[in-house]
């Protein structure tokens, strides 16, 4: 199952928010024992169910009011306990249309090439170029192209091969050092073969970087290219590296139960609870301990109640009192109940600063600046999950609204 399929299921389920109940406490943990492929289906369904519960009440929980050109975000809920007294949540500024708030980071493009083929955005290459894919089948990338946002032209990068007995099509496209890399999963005599692939962005043949065997797939948002190497981590633990030019995959020492949180930081423990529900909310901090594999530096997050996932600077989580974001050291708390829909999908927050508050018109909230931008309306009233540190996009009736996360970060850092 591809990420796009998951997103479509969530969008479909979200449309029925008013009549969909939240999943029973503990149901996810039961389903997770039913096998990898059934697990994927269960996670998507339960994610949608939890999203429904959140979105149905998001206007109350977040005090979001739609006004012409204005959406107010006010803190809500009771802060969960932490080892440090939480900072008072700031008076968040009004959520403006995102193209007005960060004009240099937002682009509107069509969804078809001049020859009529539909395409899908994958990730940003630079400030004026986006990597796109043309599907060979349902949710199956068949061709990669570079789309120039300035003159709206594109050129072919490579053809994407589909492995025999594929279980997961090409996923998590990542660019770096003049290349694009991704992964696939296929059945190899009863074992799951995870293969990393790459191709030069200048154009050329696809080649296999490395192969490992695993019970599950690659951790979303973990594939990284750095200094001639490709790094990635598996959902059930283990951080690997292989030469970008191709070669043997090597498990990094001491990472058997860790994930690649943000290169060069690896984190543990792994995430256990995907989407907490009801009153059955355990106290878990995924990636509580970080280790820099280059320098050996270790960082430990402050204790807090509820289910949390942490990157290097920021954490997002959910407790009995609701959802929130908070710095790793326990300060800077923001009460954002809808953030719970992001838990379990990639290592959040995106780019270690951006939180998605989903809805028909989603809000991207920048934890560092305290600013909030409202996206365009989705063509089906749903929303996509935030899976990428470089790009978030909305599918509109006429094409796509692209949001360049790096450009937002650069704009805020230059102020």
- Provide the 3-class DSSP secondary structure of residue 3: helix
Q: Which residues contact 170 (CB under 8 A, 6 or more apart)?
A: 133, 140, 141, 160, 162, 182, 183, 184, 197
Find the helix or strand (DSSP H, E) in which 405 lies. Answer: helix 405-413
Give dist(CA 116, CA 110) in Å, integer: 11
The percent of residues in the chain predicted with pLDDT above 70, rounded, is 74
Report the DSSP pairing between strands 307-310 and 284-286: parallel
Structural domain boundaries enclosing 160: 3-413
Does 316 have pLDDT greater than 70? yes
Q: What is the mean pLDDT of residues 78-89?
A: 38
DSSP letter at 25? T
CB 193 within 8 A of CB 183: no
Q: What is the mean pLDDT of residues 158-174?
A: 94
CB 275 within 8 A of CB 22: no
Is residue 23 very low, low, confident or very high in pLDDT (cuts 50, 70, 90)? very low
- pLDDT given for residue 344 in this prediction: 58
Does 31 have pLDDT greater than 80? no
Higher-confidence residue: 164 or 209? 209
Is residue 340 very low, low, confident or very high in pLDDT (cuts 50, 70, 90)? low
Beta bridge partners of 129: 126, 148
Phi, psi of 179 (to 5 degrees): -135, 165
- pLDDT given for residue 79 in this prediction: 35
- pLDDT given for residue 20 in this prediction: 37
Does 275 have pLDDT greater than 70? no
Give dist(CA 391, CA 183) in Å, integer: 18
Burial of 176 (0-12, 13-18, 19+ CB in 10 A): middle
Domain count, the chain: 1
Give dist(CA 241, CA 234) in Å, integer: 12
Most confident of 226-235, 281-290, 310-319: 226-235
pLDDT for 198-228, tens place per residue?
Answer: 999 999 999 999 999 998 899 999 999 999 9
Max CA distance (Å), the chain: 58
Does 239 have pLDDT greater than 80? yes
Higher-confidence residue: 80 or 134? 134
Structure tokens given for 25: 């406490």
- Nearest Cα neighbor of 354 from 2, 98, 72 is 98
- pLDDT given for residue 176 in this prediction: 98
Does 33 have pLDDT greater than 60? no
DSSP letter at 332? S
Does 17 have pLDDT greater than 90? no
Give dist(CA 245, CA 230) in Å, integer: 9
pLDDT for 323-334, tens place per residue?
Answer: 899 999 999 999
Most confident of 37-46, 73-82, 178-187: 178-187
Quote the distance between the C-alpha of residue 60 and its chain's center: 25
- Nearest Cα neighbor of 126 from 410, 413, 415, 412 is 410
Find the helix or strand (DSSP H, E) in which 124 lies. Answer: strand 120-126
Q: What is the mean pLDDT of residues 238-253?
A: 98
The region, left, alpha or beta by phi > 0 then psi within -120 to 50, assigned to residue 44 is: alpha
DSSP letter at 218? B
- pLDDT given for residue 280 in this prediction: 76
Cis preceding linkage at 264, omega within 30: yes
b/e sequence 391-409, b meaning 16+ C-beta within 10 Å: bbbbbbeebbbbbbbebbb
Q: Give the CATH number for residue 8.
A: 2.130.10
- pLDDT given for residue 367 in this prediction: 95
Structure tokens given for 287: 């990636």
Report the DSSP pairing between strands 207-213 and 191-200: antiparallel
Does 289 have pLDDT greater than 80? yes
CB 124 within 8 A of CB 406: yes
Supply the mean pLDDT for the chain: 80
């Amino acid at each position: 199952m591809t990420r796009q399929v998951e997103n479509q299921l969530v969008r479909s389920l979200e449309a029925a928010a008013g009549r969909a109940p939240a999943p029973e406490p503990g149901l996810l943990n039961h389903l997770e024992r039913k096998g990898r492929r059934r697990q994927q289906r269960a996670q998507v369904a339960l994610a949608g169910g939890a999203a429904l519960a959140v979105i149905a009440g998001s206007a109350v929980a977040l005090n979001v009011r739609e006004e012409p050109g204005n959406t107010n975000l006010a803190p809500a809920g009771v802060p969960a306990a932490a080892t440090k007294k939480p900072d008072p949540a700031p008076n968040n500024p009004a959520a403006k249309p995102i193209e007005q708030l960060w004009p240099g980071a937002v682009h509107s493009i069509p969804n078809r090439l001049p020859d009529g083929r539909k395409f899908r955005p994958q990730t940003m290459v630079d400030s004026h170029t986006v990597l796109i894919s043309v599907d060979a089948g349902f949710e199956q990338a068949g061709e990669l192209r570079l789309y120039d946002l300035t003159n709206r032209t594109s050129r072919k990068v490579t053809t994407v091969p589909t492995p025999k007995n594929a279980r997961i099509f090409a996923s998590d496209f990542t660019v770096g050092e003049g290349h694009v890399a991704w992964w696939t999963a296929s059945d190899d005599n009863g074992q799951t073969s995870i293969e990393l692939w790459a191709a030069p962005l200048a154009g050329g043949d696809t080649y296999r970087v490395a192969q490992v065997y695993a019970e599950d797939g690659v951790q979303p948002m973990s594939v990284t290219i750095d200094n001639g190497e490709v790094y990635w981590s598996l959902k059930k633990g283990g951080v690997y590296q292989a030469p970008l030019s191709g070669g043997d995959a090597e498990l990094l020492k001491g990472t058997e139960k860790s994930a690649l949180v943000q290169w060069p930081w690896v984190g543990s423990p792994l995430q256990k609870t995907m989407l907490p529900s009801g009153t059955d909310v355990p106290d878990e901090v995924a990636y509580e301990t970080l280790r820099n594999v280059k320098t050996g530096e270790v960082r430990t997050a402050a204790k807090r109640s509820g289910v949390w996932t942490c990157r290097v600077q920021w954490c997002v989580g959910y407790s009995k009192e609701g959802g929130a974001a908070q710095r790793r050291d326990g300060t800077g708390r923001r009460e954002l109940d809808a953030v719970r829909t992001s838990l379990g999908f990639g290592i959040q927050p995106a780019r270690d600063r951006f939180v998605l508050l989903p809805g028909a018109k989603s809000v991207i909230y920048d934890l560092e600046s305290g600013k909030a931008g409202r996206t365009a309306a989705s063509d089906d009233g749903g929303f996509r999950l935030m899976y990428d540190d470089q790009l978030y996009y909305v599918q509109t009736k006429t094409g796509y609204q692209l949001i360049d996360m790096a450009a937002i970060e650069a704009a805020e850092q230059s102020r």
